[in-house]
Amino acid sequence: MIDLKNVVIKEKKVDTILTKSNLPIAGYSINPYVGCPFACRYCYATFMKRFTNHKEDWGMFLDVKYWNKINNPQKYKGKTMIIGSVTDGYNYFEAKYKRTRTFLEEMQGSGINLIVTTKSNLVTRDIDLIKNYPNPLVSWSMNILDERFKKDMENTPTIKSRIEAMKQIHDEGIRTTCFISPIFPGITDVFSIIEEIKDFCDYIWLENLNLRGSFKGTIMNYIKEKYPALYPLYDEIYNKKNISYWEMLDKQVEEYANKNRYMYVIDEEPFFKNPTGKPIIINYFYHEKIRQSSKKR
């Protein structure tokens, strides 16, 4: 657990908060901060340290961005903007600095498609602003209901508070996503999470744990120490590149979806229309081979 008092905070002037994105789901990404005190051990955004010359550990610094006011926001009408691709716009310091809220205020009336991704319940503070966007979507990521495992991996608000926030936002008529990510083999129980949120969730996105770069060693060592019985499985998946675990899970999700009459699709864009009134499950498993084999069905 990070002591927030030790996080090095700097306020920074930037020209713009709008960054053109190559994410498949959005034309622009909005990151009101550099760094993230949620400090997930599996965070893929730690490369931002290199880009911004930070020497502190991930989670121990935060640059607060101040940008030039967005001129004529209407010119972005119809564009999709995602908040939180390499930081969490609702990290603990947003309560004080309100940079995400400022962005939402500046873009009022612009007609953009807004996606907010977070691990926090603080997003409920901004329901008044989010509601005004044409078809907003708020997504919470979580990968377990067990708060102890969550504490080992993340310095985030509780899972319980995220689920309550999801319900509150859904009750306000805003579309919600439960992003079950990253799925830890043998630890994440996809189905118990779905059962917990299915009544107030429009989309369920699934993404497998993808161990790349510096955190591979951290996670493998953690598994060896805390879940030694699972280590051979992790070794198969992440050292020997065996994908059969993901193929099996893909099959199980398909069976679960068929049984419960949920639509289950592979790699669809996240706004895929939902004619069922039940959550749509969208599989974003990383591995190309799984995508191809699944698409043949």
Q: Which residues bind ligand SF4 (CB under 6 A)?
A: 36, 38-40, 43, 45, 87-88, 119
CB atoms inside a 10 Å sphere around CB 209? 19
Compare residues 81 and 257 and give the one whose CB is closer to ligand SF4: 81
Compare residues 39 and 201 and give the one whose CB is closer to ligand SF4: 39
Show the tokens assigned to 84. Answer: 């939180």
Compare residues 101 and 119 and give the one whose CB is closer to ligand SF4: 119
Alpha helices, H only, the chain: 47-52, 94-97, 99-106, 127-130, 147-153, 159-171, 190-197, 215-226, 231-234, 244-260, 288-295
Q: Which of 105, 43, 122 is nearest to 114 (CA)?
A: 105
Compare residues 99 and 119 and give the one whose CB is closer to ligand SF4: 119
Which residues are paired to 191 by β-bridges? none
Closest contact distance (angstroms) between CB of 138 and ligand SF4 is: 14
Closest contact distance (angstroms) between CB of 57 and ligand SF4 is: 11
Compare residues 182 and 270 and give the one whose CB is closer to ligand SF4: 182
Compare residues 211 and 263 and give the one whose CB is closer to ligand SF4: 211
Closest contact distance (angstroms) between CB of 36 and ligand SF4 is: 3
Q: Pairing relation of β-strands 264-266 and 203-208?
A: unpaired
Peptide bond between residue 182 and the one before it cis (omega within 30 degrees of 0): yes
What is the torsion angle, in degrees rounded to the nearest 10, for the CA atoms of residue 194, residue 199, residue 201 and residue 203? 60
Closest contact distance (angstroms) between CB of 157 and ligand SF4 is: 10
Closest contact distance (angstroms) between CB of 24 and ligand SF4 is: 18
Closest contact distance (angstroms) between CB of 154 and ligand SF4 is: 6
Closest contact distance (angstroms) between CB of 111 and ligand SF4 is: 27
CA distance linking residue 197 with residue 68, whole number of Å: 39
Show the tokens assigned to 143. Answer: 């990968």
Closest contact distance (angstroms) between CB of 88 and ligand SF4 is: 4
CA distance linking residue 168 with residue 162, whole number of Å: 10
Compare residues 63 and 250 and give the one whose CB is closer to ligand SF4: 63
Compare residues 142 and 280 and give the one whose CB is closer to ligand SF4: 142
Alpha helices, H only, 23-146: 47-52, 94-97, 99-106, 127-130
Contact 83, 113 (CB under 8 A): no
- N-term to C-term CA, the chain: 44
